[in-house]
């Protein structure tokens, strides 16, 4: 894969900058919460990052919303400097309308719908069988 | 349509800046375009709340009772400080206190109710059933005013729409919390609780709380304010708001509803004739097609004559106003003699 890296990032030792989700909070809490972060590729997922660009809360709140925030100004800057977004970040930003839609989002939606249809197809059959018995 | 064309381009590394800039520009234009209502056939422009003359009249009527403005508010206890001053320094201190009182008395704006946002940015049927929860995307760039910020919601059906005003308020409070504002409105603002609080004469506290909690053009704010003003007018307790910053709003509401009787009688009872006169003047300005205004402009009346015209034409309790005016004239005649 061609790694584009702008002149501004050549100060580091050969890695490149990514925009990815880093888990915030502590691992013992059983409550995930992610930060959208610009970090070097080789660093650990949760360790020192360059800049925080937003947050993502995967658990829905009482209004059934998953809150995602992103600092569009700084994301544009880092993308301009040659940062790569990872797949989950690209999916989230595609859902937001900031990026075009990620193809995997569409595929996942189709797969889910197929699963739902399978389940509905299976449930009436089970009900029929029980009635026969 | 334009937005969908932009998003179809998959060469995102090249075009992402352009796309977002164009999106921002389009939406900024959409957000900022307010239709100017120049459809009224008659020539006069209705005086707005924020006009200089109207504000002037309202500040004068509201009064400046230093004792009431600086009465003790609930704050943490500090031991009092004592200063030794000469008379001149005392004068200066009183003057600066007056200026601070004027700043504290700055009236909160009265705005028309905001129109609901029903903007759908994109409908993607292919995404239906992708998740059971909505995704709320907020743009947390620092330098944008909150009114122009992007808060979009992706529903489980796949539509990407802008958040409604209530959702916007809640989410802005999550990411940019404001002082004493709470995420859900306190239960004081429901009808029954409002009645209880009005029974305890705490209209001012309710209005302050409403100021903190809601935006000035939200429907909740307007509803709570209308309920408070109605109750005040029914009970005749104008004095509760007299030297506070909510008095201007009360007067504006009553003038627009043309129910200034109670207020004028209250002013006459307190011997504030100049205030009553300016109130009638304001009424004439806001309703220039009414009988009083036309008579006043034809006779070039001012001062007590305005009050007499008002008593004759518009008020339901004319007798009381005329009696009060006669009493005032008698006392002024005696004092001049």
**Looking at per-residue confidence, does A72 or B273 come out higher?**
A72
Task: Name the residue facing B137 among A4, A68, A109 (closest C-beta).
Answer: A68
In this prediction, residue A54 carries a pLDDT of 92
pTM reported for the whole predicted model: 0.71
**CA A71, CA A17: separation in Å to the nearest integer?**
17
Neighbours of B121 (CB within 10 A): 19
Q: Is the dihedral of CA B228, B229, B235, B240 positive or negative?
A: positive
- Chain A nearest-CA distance from B126, in A, is 6
Q: Is A126 on the interface with B (CB under 8 A)?
A: no
Among B107, B213, B135, B293, smallest CA distance to A67 is for B135
- CB–CB contact B141 A95 (8 Å): no
The residues that bridge with B122 in the sheet, in sequence order, are B160
Q: If you compute the radius of gyration of chain B from its CA atoms, what whole number of angstroms results?
A: 26
3-class DSSP state for residue A109? helix
- Chain A nearest-CA distance from B25, in A, is 14
DSSP state of A20: E
3-class DSSP state for residue B241? helix
Phi, psi dihedral angles at B253 (to 5 degrees):
-65, -45
In this prediction, residue B36 carries a pLDDT of 38
Mean pLDDT across A77-81: 89
Q: Which residue has the tokens 């004027």?
A: B102
Q: Tokens for A132?
A: 């026969």
Neighbours of A89 (CB within 10 A): 24
Beta strands, E only, chain B: 120-123, 134-139, 151-154, 159-162
**CA B294, CA B256: separation in Å to the nearest integer?**
17
DSSP state of B12: H
CB of A101 closer than 8 Å to CB of B3:
no
Dump pLDDT digits (tens) for A19-58: 999 998 766 788 889 999 999 888 888 888 989 999 999 9
Q: Is A111 on the interface with B (CB under 8 A)?
A: no
- CB–CB contact A76 B135 (8 Å): no
The DSSP H or E segment spanning A106 is helix A103-132
In this prediction, residue B293 carries a pLDDT of 73
Q: Which residue has the tokens 């939606």?
A: A109
Q: Which residues of chain B have pLDDT under 70?
A: 1-46, 64-69, 71-76, 301, 314-315, 337
- Chain B nearest-CA distance from A132, in A, is 33
Contacts of A14 (CB under 8 A, 6+ apart): none
3-class DSSP state for residue B272? coil
In this prediction, residue B337 carries a pLDDT of 67
**CA A18, CA A35: separation in Å to the nearest integer?**
13
Q: If you compute the radius of gyration of chain A from its CA atoms, what whole number of angstroms results?
A: 20
Q: Which residue has the tokens 């009482």?
A: A62
**CA B9, CA B17: separation in Å to the nearest integer?**
12
3-class DSSP state for residue A38? strand
CB of A36 closer than 8 Å to CB of A52:
yes
In this prediction, residue B1 carries a pLDDT of 47
Helical spans, DSSP H, in B63-150: 66-69, 87-104
Q: Tokens for A113?
A: 């719908």
Among B286, B298, B321, B320, smallest CA distance to B110 is for B286
DSSP state of B210: H
In this prediction, residue A91 carries a pLDDT of 92
Q: In 3-state terms, chain A is what percent helix, strand and coil (to 5)?
A: 40, 20, 35
Phi, psi dihedral angles at B320 (to 5 degrees):
-60, -45
The DSSP H or E segment spanning B283 is helix B273-286
Choose, out of B5, B7, B12, B14, the residue to mutate when testing the contact with A (most A CBs < 10 Å).
B12
Please identify among residues 47-106 of chain A the ones whose CB lies closer than 8 Å to any CB of chain B: 54, 60, 63-74, 76, 79-80, 92, 95-101, 105-106
Angle made by CA atoms B237, B241, B242, in degrees to the nearest 5? 95
Dump pLDDT digits (tens) for A88-123: 999 999 999 889 989 999 999 999 889 989 988 888
Q: Which residue has the tokens 């009808």?
A: B191
């Amino acid at each position: 894969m061609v790694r584009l890296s702008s002149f501004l990032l050549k100060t580091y030792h050969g890695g490149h900058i990514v925009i990815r989700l880093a888990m915030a909070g502590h691992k013992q809490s059983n409550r995930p919460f992610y930060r959208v972060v610009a970090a070097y590729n080789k660093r650990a997922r949760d360790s020192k990052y360059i800049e925080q660009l937003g947050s993502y809360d995967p658990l829905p709140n009482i209004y059934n919303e998953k809150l995602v925030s992103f600092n569009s100004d700084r994301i544009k800057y880092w993308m301009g400097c040659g940062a790569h977004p990872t797949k989950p970040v690209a999916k989230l930003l595609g859902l937001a309308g900031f990026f075009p839609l990620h193809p995997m989002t569409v595929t996942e939606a189709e797969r889910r719908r197929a699963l739902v249809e399978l389940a509905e197809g299976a449930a009436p059959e089970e009900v029929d069988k029980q009635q026969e018995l | 349509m334009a937005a969908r064309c932009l998003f179809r381009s998959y060469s995102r590394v090249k075009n992402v800046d352009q796309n977002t800039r164009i999106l921002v520009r389009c939406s900024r234009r959409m957000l900022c375009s307010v239709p100017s209502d120049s459809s009224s056939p008659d020539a006069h422009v209705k005086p707005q709340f924020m006009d200089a003359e109207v504000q002037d009249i309202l500040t004068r009527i509201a009064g400046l009772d230093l004792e009431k403005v600086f009465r003790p508010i609930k704050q943490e206890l500090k031991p009092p400080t004592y200063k030794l001053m000469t008379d001149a320094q005392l004068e200066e201190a009183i003057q600066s206190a007056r200026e601070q009182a004027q700043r504290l008395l700055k009236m909160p704006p009265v705005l028309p109710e905001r129109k609901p946002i029903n903007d759908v940015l994109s409908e993607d049927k292919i995404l239906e059933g992708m998740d059971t929860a909505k995704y709320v995307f907020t743009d947390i760039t620092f330098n944008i005013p909150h009114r122009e910020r992007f808060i979009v919601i992706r529903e489980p059906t796949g539509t990407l729409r802008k958040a409604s005003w209530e959702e916007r308020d809640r989410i802005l409070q999550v990411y940019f919390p404001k002082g004493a504002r709470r995420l859900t409105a306190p239960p004081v603002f429901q009808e029954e609780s409002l009645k209880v609080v009005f029974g305890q004469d705490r209209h001012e506290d309710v209005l302050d709380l409403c100021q903190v909690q809601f935006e000035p053009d939200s429907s909740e704010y307007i509803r709570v304010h209308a309920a408070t003003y109605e109750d005040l007018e029914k009970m005749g307790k104008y004095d509760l708001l007299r030297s506070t910053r909510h008095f201007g709003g009360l007067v504006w509401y009553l003038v627009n509803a043309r129910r200034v009787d109670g207020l004028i009688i209250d002013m006459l009872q307190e011997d504030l004739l100049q205030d009553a006169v300016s109130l009638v003047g304001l009424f004439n300005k806001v309703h220039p097609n009414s009988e009083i205004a036309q008579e006043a402009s034809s006779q070039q009346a001012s001062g007590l004559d305005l009050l007499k015209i008002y008593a004759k034409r518009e008020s339901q309790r004319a007798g009381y106003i005329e009696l009060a005016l006669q009493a005032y004239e008698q006392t002024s005649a005696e004092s001049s003699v």
